Homo-oligomer: A and B are copies of this chain.
Amino acid sequence: MEEKILELIKNKKYGLLKTTLSEMNPADIALIFDVIEPGELTLIFRILPKELAAEVFVEMDSDMQQILIESFSDAELRAVMDELFMDDTVDIIEEMPANVAKRILHQTDANTRCMINQLLAYPDVSAGSIMTTEYVDLKRDMTVEQAFDRIRKIGVDTEIIYTCYVMDKGRRLQGIVSVKDLLLNDKNCIIGDIMDENIIYATTLDDKEEVAGLFEKYDMIALPVVDKEGRLVGIITVDDAIDVLQEEASEDIEKMAAILPSEKTYLKTGVFETFKARIPWLLFLMISATFTGAIISAFESKLTIFPALIAFIPMLMGTGGNSGSQSSVTIIRALSLGDIEFGDILRVIWKELRVGLFCGAVLCIVNFIKLYLVDFLLMDSFDLKHEISEMITVCITLFFVVIVAKFIGSTLPILAKKLGFDPAVMASPLVTTILDAISLFIYFTIAGVLLGI
């Protein structure tokens, strides 16, 4: 499809292009528009029917949106903006440089401008920042028939019409009625009698990730948002909730891998931006490895007496790190999905200790067998006494390292959340660095006792 469109553009077959594009989905058109030449873009964009043009515009990259806006006449800009839903307009303005944003605001009427400014004021992490202000409002003394009239009147410009909101004179939310309820009741029924007063709602300053979680829990397609006084100020639609959930998962994954989160897709992020997102943690973790180095340095002279011990350092540190990150990652995801909270910390610790005990025991035994069969029987280069005691040192260390790793890996994210930090940064890399130092410390302590060094 993409090739066909680009071919049509190349051959300037605009009539056929218009027919083809008119039958396509806005999201697919936007993907193609994102890769065509800026000069051509303006031309092709003007071919689209007005409504489709606005729908495509919303789906495009902000860079391309900016190119288009700068090429628009004031009348064209107004035409596109008029078609947009309020939340999309706000998203676009947020991405634009100040002069472009100003020009957009200038093209909207005073009422809309006031509303946009209000929406722009909500913090980026709040429910207010993802809500739209267009919805169907009803009064409790309306009949079903009047409700349908109201939907017909304002429905064209409303994103989701299937849930209607019943408000009193002070715009306080009284109940909700779905179009399903309206369709399944007689046209003379009174809204107040059929509305559901048991409403799930959010307030403007709620965390948007928690609000998005409500969609998952309650299977809704829209959620009302009220201000501190209980007045309805907007609704959040399920498509925006999905975007928040996906962004949140991507962010958690990035933080777990010691990357500063970014909002752009991989190929659209520049080399320098990617570098900037990755270098801070790499630097921090490199510097903190100084402690691990210092522990080794302190035991350097003893290690030269038992040089075979050196060869086990990567395995011990690796197993400790892996055990710890298994726990931390599981706990971080569970915290993020709302499956556990701070009050569960003792249950978590008790569970992780038992899991650690089993894992530690199995790894300890398997490692002993492996050492005995491979390193001891096949490559007996050392004298017997050293070998056996070294093997025991390694295996006992392994056992304790795994248990400690599970304990630290599971408690740090919970404590981080309790203290108001983001639990996701307590994932693999940071936990691993801490565990590296602890693993070595356990190793050398046990070696000191068992080997007398």
Contact = CB atoms under 8 A, between A and B. Distances in A.
Contact of A359 (B27, B275, B318): B275
Interface string A279-300: 1011101110110111011001
A200 B256 contact: no
A143 to B, nearest CB: 16
A256 B256 CA distance: 10
B339 A267 contact: yes
A152 interface: yes
A348 to B, nearest CB: 8
Contacts of A219: 27, 239
B256 A253 contact: yes
B286 A246 contact: no
Given A258-B326, A267-B339, A267-B348, 14 more contacts: A25-B200, A254-B329, A259-B329, A274-B355, A278-B326, A282-B319, A286-B367, A287-B366, A290-B370, A296-B310, A313-B313, A314-B436, A314-B440, A322-B429
A271 B250 CA distance: 28
A310 to B, nearest CB: 6
Given A297-B311, A300-B311, A314-B436, A340 B183 contact: no
Dominant secondary structure at the A interface = helix
Contacts of A258: 322, 325-326
Contact of A322 (B246, B285, B331, B351): B285
A307 B329 CA distance: 36
10 contacts: A215-B239, A242-B245, A253-B256, A265-B334, A275-B355, A282-B326, A285-B319, A300-B308, A300-B310, A318-B436
Contacts of A259: 326, 329-330
A281 B359 CA distance: 11
A242 B267 contact: no
Interface in A328-382: 328-331, 333-334, 337, 339-340, 344, 347-348, 351, 354-355, 358-359, 362-363, 366-367, 370, 374
Contacts of A354: 271
Contact of A366 (B162, B286, B329): B286
A287 B370 contact: yes
B250 A253 contact: no
- What are the 8 A-B residue pairs with the smallest beta carbon separation, nearest first? A289-B315, A249-B249, A257-B329, A219-B239, A266-B334, A292-B314, A293-B311, A265-B339
Contacts of A301: 307
Given A258-B322, A322-B429, A329-B254, A246 B152 contact: no
B358 A322 contact: no
A80 to B, nearest CB: 18
Contact of A315 (B266, B293, B312, B374): B293
A453 interface: no
A276 B296 CA distance: 34
A283 B179 contact: no
Contact of A183 (B155, B221, B245): B155
Contacts of A239: 215-216, 219
Interface string A136-162: 000000000000100110011000011
A238 B245 CA distance: 13
